[in-house]
Chain A
């Protein structure tokens, strides 16, 4: 091999030395696990409807039950194994959001219940809430100004 002269050359060389993630296998696992979680949600949704709930409440119950399932599996030290196998398949559904709140809560218990559990709970999920909520407020404000939906849809 020729001596490496620049950082760029080294980066190119390193990229070619570093194995890639097995993307096809990862995508396949993400697909069926993610799909299964959503299908499970749909089944819960139908059960709610059968018990006479309206659509909005049914979707909320789906979210809460999936969040509970994710928290339960995280507490049993099982969720990280599912996450390792499924990647985005368990991260992208609301289960991943729940896991990102539960896992730091458990991790930082040793720093106490206020500054440990309470404060660190949002190390991963905090940004999701910040950006999600801020975007929703912007959407609301823009809606007031322009009534976006009717503009787009008409």
Chain B
């Protein structure tokens, strides 16, 4: 691995993505990407007494599925890098407590999935690991409960609000393999655009996405056209428009090959999800389901995934703090 430019890293020995798995909830099942997911749940409890337990089960089953698909014995896996949105990352730690694999919990808000892939790639590239699991999850109901209002409260959601994706995605990264490969990454800086409206996360995170995107292009010398597709995590419809504008203001036109996982996940008109999907599970499931399959079928050959996160909690917003954003980028090629 070598550092290029200010904050990007090229992997001289690309890291293999051996397998991915994704499980999503009932609302995602009605969305346009449903056929790409490994499993769609019929109800948000999944037979568990609470949503938090259901989310842990999502993590557990998704990771088990990814391990099974990769054909690697779980005893040969060196690390598990995972995170979620619940306080103290309980969905991941409870979901993975029976795996017997060394566990490193991560938190990057909704950017956790790519963050975990960056950390896992670094570990594998540095010869500290041969095989590693990356995982991230979110659950609409547990997120609403923790960050917003009770589900049964009769309130209206403003048009800029987003819908937390119920789902978990995981990927097994290995040193050797036949691809797709992680070839470079750009960890992002914390960028605060001064947005305070917790119902407009897309606008709060778009600045961070732009910063990471532009840094990636500057550092690597690549242009937007280098990639077949560029995906952001969960900027939603509003954030996506803003990012296109911000990038063009810096001289990068990404209009042609750019989309957002939150935009892809739901049908805005039919499903009434306002500005689109959000949450750790959004990019995790869209990557593990849709993008990975496109790479395997060679419909995409070079993809840039930029996971975006809003680094806040309900206390910080009650105290009147603005919402800092973060975005991590990773390039995947076949």
Q: Which residues of A contact B (CB under 8 A)?
A: 1-4, 7-8, 10-11, 13-14, 17-21, 26, 74, 77, 79-84, 86-87, 90-91, 96, 99-100, 102-104, 106-108, 110, 123-124
Contacts and interface: CB of A to CB of B under 8 A. Distances in A.
A90 B153 contact: no
A2 B152 contact: no
Interface residues of B, number: 31
Q: Which 9 A-B pairs have the closest CB atoms?
A: A83-B154, A7-B194, A107-B150, A103-B152, A110-B50, A103-B150, A14-B203, A103-B153, A19-B159
Interface of B: 49-52, 145, 149-160, 193-195, 200, 203, 207, 238, 241-242, 245-246, 248-250
B154 A80 contact: yes
A14 B49 contact: no
Contacts of B51: 110
Given A4-B249, A79-B154, 8 more contacts: A10-B195, A13-B242, A17-B245, A19-B160, A26-B156, A80-B155, A103-B154, A106-B150
23 contacts: A1-B249, A3-B249, A8-B194, A11-B194, A14-B242, A17-B238, A17-B245, A18-B159, A21-B156, A21-B158, A80-B154, A80-B155, A82-B154, A83-B153, A83-B155, A84-B156, A84-B157, A91-B155, A103-B152, A107-B145, A108-B145, A124-B150, A124-B153
Secondary structure dominating the interface of A: helix
B49 A110 contact: yes
Given A14-B200, A18-B203, A21-B158, A100 B153 contact: yes
A10 B242 CA distance: 10
B156 A4 contact: no
Nearest to A99: B154
Given A1-B245, A18-B238, A19-B159, A80 B153 contact: yes
Contact of B159 (A21, A90, A96): A21
Contacts of A74: 152, 154
A1 B203 CA distance: 16
A105 to B, nearest CB: 9
A26 to B, nearest CB: 7
B150 A2 contact: no
A112 B153 CA distance: 20
- Count chain A CB atoms within 10 A of each CB in B51, B154, B155, B238 and give the residue with the most: B154
